[in-house]
Structure 1
Amino acid sequence: MDTSSAYQDTLPLSSDALLAQLDEWGLSYRLHTHIPLRTVEDAKGVEDQFILPGENVLRLKNLYLRDKKKRNYLVTLEQSREIDLKALGAELGIGNLSFGSADRLFQNLGIRPGAVSPLAMINGFENNVKFFMDAAAQEADVINMHPLVNDRTVAMERVDLMTFFDKIGCEVTWLP
């Protein structure tokens, strides 16, 4: 199914509703509308237009993962970081990891493939999804991410993203 804002009303929480919640909480962001971005390669083609001169921006890739005990994880990494799922599972002490299905992604994070984002933790936290984020985010001024759909990107200051996690009760586990 299409993961663009044209179909956002099929999500448990629409992109518009998420943005309204961010506004209500007083969190600042810049909203960019663009062609649907389904992969890191797609994003590389348009992201430069979102960056202001002098900004230290973290560009993300997001992995929805499960372990053998059927626990769910959202892992957010710097876009160019290489990842070995077996090594990651061992490092985190959670065993073997594999990618979760599109159905489980929708059930647990309320989004579809191609729109995976840390902002989906607004749904994932309630479903016991554990969140891991690249420590590189602690050095970034701004973090670019999808607001639950893949034809929009929000550029959010790190402090506002951390406030978002606090507001929803989501603990961030930092990956070195």
Structure 2
Amino acid sequence: MPKTRQELFDCLDALGIAHPTTDHAPVFTVAESQSLRDQIPGGHTKNLFLKDKKGAYFLVTLEENAEVNLKSIHTLIGASGRVSFGKPEALMDKLGVTPGSVTIFCAINDPDHDVTIVIDAPLMDNDIINAHPLINDATTSIGREDLMRFLSHTGHEPLILKVSG
């Protein structure tokens, strides 16, 4: 059973990680979330749930305006051949969320470490990183080092690579 927003917050609390959260209308795209920028400081994210030809899954987290070449990203992230977007059913199965709610915090729903987490290096230039708390009707802010501590707690050691162009 996928973790809820409250279970994510309970985990962050147990780790002593501050996580101010702003509730807002559901947003499904980066364009829809642009209006929140003045209210919420820090780097804002977009996420790509990708699958390679051998069935390996990747969650790529980037700054919201970053661009990625999907025809060549596989050479950077260690995928077997070109990647495509993972299907909604696989997204729910592997990360416990629906399209529009994909977030770096989904690592909490991957106890078997079936998904490789990739963070675009420029995103890590931000002291504060903003992401959905497993649902797209809120934005949670977390410190860069705290994000790494959270990911380590979930058993994920992300690849921090320059994947944006």
TM, length-normalised to structure 1: 0.87
1:164 maps to 150
1:41 maps to 31
**Do residues 16 (structure 1) and 1 (structure 2) align?**
no
Alpha-carbon spacing, 1:171–1:127, altered in 2? closer, same or farther (3 Å): closer
Task: Tell me, yes or no, if the aligned pair for 1:58 and 1:136 is still in contact at 8 Å.
Answer: no
State the alpha-carbon separation in 2 of the partners of residues 125 and 87 from structure 1.
29
Task: Tell me, yes or no, if the aligned pair for 2:151 and 2:157 is still in contact at 8 Å.
Answer: yes
State the alpha-carbon separation in 2 of the partners of residues 82 and 24 from structure 1.
35
State the alpha-carbon separation in 2 of the partners of residues 139 and 96 from structure 1.
28
2:98 pairs, out of 107, 112, 115, with 112
How much does 1:58 deviate?
1.3
Aligned residues: 161
2:51 maps to 66
How much does 1:127 deviate?
4.3
Please state whether the residue corresponding to 2:129 is helix, strand or coil: strand
How much does 1:140 deviate?
0.8
Task: Tell me, yes or no, if the aligned pair for 2:49 and 2:91 is still in contact at 8 Å.
Answer: yes
State the alpha-carbon separation in 1 of the partners of residues 155 and 76 from structure 2.
24
Please state whether the residue corresponding to 2:149 is helix, strand or coil: helix
Which stretch of the first structure deviates more once superposed, 112-121 or 83-92? 83-92
How much does 1:125 deviate?
4.7
2:89 pairs, out of 103, 123, 132, with 103
Opposite residue 129 of structure 1, the aligned amino acid is V
How much does 1:93 deviate?
3.7
RMSD: 1.3
Q: Structure 1 vs Structure 2: percent identity of aligned residues? A: 37
Structure 2: stretches of 5+ with no match in the other structure: none
Structure 1: stretches of 5+ with no match in the other structure: 1-10, 52-56
Task: Tell me, yes or no, if the aligned pair for 1:145 and 1:153 is still in contact at 8 Å.
Answer: yes
Please state whether the residue corresponding to 2:110 is helix, strand or coil: helix
Please state whether the residue corresponding to 1:80 is helix, strand or coil: coil
1:50 pairs, out of 40, 50, 53, with 40
Task: Tell me, yes or no, if the aligned pair for 1:125 and 1:170 is still in contact at 8 Å.
Answer: no
Q: Deviations over 1:7-38 (max 9, x none)?
A: xxxx6211111111111111111111000011
How much does 1:92 deviate?
2.9
How much does 1:142 deviate?
0.1
